[in-house]
A = this chain, B = another copy of it.
Amino acid sequence: MKNFTYYVPTKIHFGENQVQHLPEEVASVGKRVLLVYGGGSIKKLGLYDKVYNLLADCTIVECNGIEPNPRIASVRKGVELCKTHNIDVVLAVGGGSVLDASKAIAAGACSDEDAWELILDAKKIKAALPIISVLTLSATGSEMDQTAVITNPETKSKKGFANDLLFPKVSICDPTYTYTVNAFQSASGVADIMSHIMETFFHHEAGCDISDQVAIDLLKTCVKYGPVLLDEPNHYEARANIMWASTWAINGFLVSGPGKNWSCHAMQHILSAYYDVTHGATLALLEPAWLSYILNDTNKDRIARFAREVFNVEEENTYKCAQKGIQKLYEFFTVTMKLPKNFAELGIPNDANFKELAEECVKSRPGGKIGGYETLEANDVFEIYKRCF
């Protein structure tokens, strides 16, 4: 078990109608609110009106139209609004994209630097406005972490950044707000959650019993309740368990001990910088392709454990067991959860320049390679992409 620092100060109000806490939580930090949201879904949900009713005493300035892969232009617009209107608190109402944009806005609002500079070097973030969120989508876990991902179309880059000042002060997680999330987005969310867990579960560190076992539990929770989201979108327990799993997949608990060994997200980010593909659905293809590519004598025990404990694979031969588990994972995503079966279905043409994408994927990383669970060079990334064709 590696040494670690665990620090997650976000307060979570979880459950139906917990939005009732919004007035007291906002009042504790100010009266001038930047309301950040995406398209019209929060209006259809009735959440937009509810927020206005609950915050009748506040001045609300709107920053809407945040994109699914939020862009730096939206962040800059939000920063400008904060400075012009002397905003006290950023209120993110939406999913991970709205939350990520809000984090960048909260940092940019307290700095003279351009927001993209802060994203490129998050140590430059010395202050941030408090962030409060009302979550409407279970996927990224951004409601309880200090990280965000912003896309810059000019430089074709999708950049993750982190700073402890960016933990939401409060997140309101009401599973009923996710009832209207459609089957594809629900399934992509589950794939995103599971990928966060798998990126951590596959490590080489001994003695991380608690993290390992909780990772398995969260994966089993996804496998149990994920399909329910498609069949019974208004199933409270299913939405609630997926929402809570989503939060714990990536809030710092699972990496406490194993450390961070991520691989697939790097391969995903470069794809979505070039193609407007859904994050989770892309990971649903990359995760099994990656596992099948890296499977070897050293890691076969761990992948077989995943197969046995998450998918109940019964197979004595460790190598075969691991292979069967990977196949089960692919089938879970593409058959059970009805996600795209290959890059073409996802929206990435088969004649895309995967060699160049693979090279670009690794070039900005330390030593020009992905140093995750198993080290990946450009050629490895290319081979993994090929398995997703």
Contacts and interface: CB of A to CB of B under 8 A. Distances in A.
Given A209-B224, A209-B241, A245-B210, A6 B15 contact: no
A159 B6 CA distance: 30
Nearest to A207: B237
Contact of A3 (B1, B10, B15, B241): B15
A9 B9 contact: yes
A2 interface: yes
Contacts of A206: 237
A17 B4 CA distance: 11
A241 B210 contact: yes
Contacts of A236: 1, 207
A226 to B, nearest CB: 12
A13 interface: yes
A98 interface: no
Given A2-B15, A3-B16, 8 more contacts: A3-B13, A8-B8, A9-B11, A207-B240, A207-B241, A210-B217, A210-B218, A210-B248
22 contacts: A1-B237, A1-B240, A1-B241, A3-B14, A3-B15, A3-B16, A4-B14, A5-B11, A7-B10, A9-B9, A206-B237, A207-B241, A209-B217, A209-B224, A209-B225, A210-B217, A210-B218, A213-B217, A213-B220, A213-B221, A217-B217, A244-B257
Interface of A: 1-18, 21, 206-207, 209-210, 213-214, 217-218, 220-221, 224-225, 236-237, 240-241, 244-245, 248, 256-257
| Top 8 closest pairs, chain A to chain B, by CB | A3-B15, A207-B237, A9-B9, A7-B11, A213-B217, A6-B12, A1-B240, A209-B221
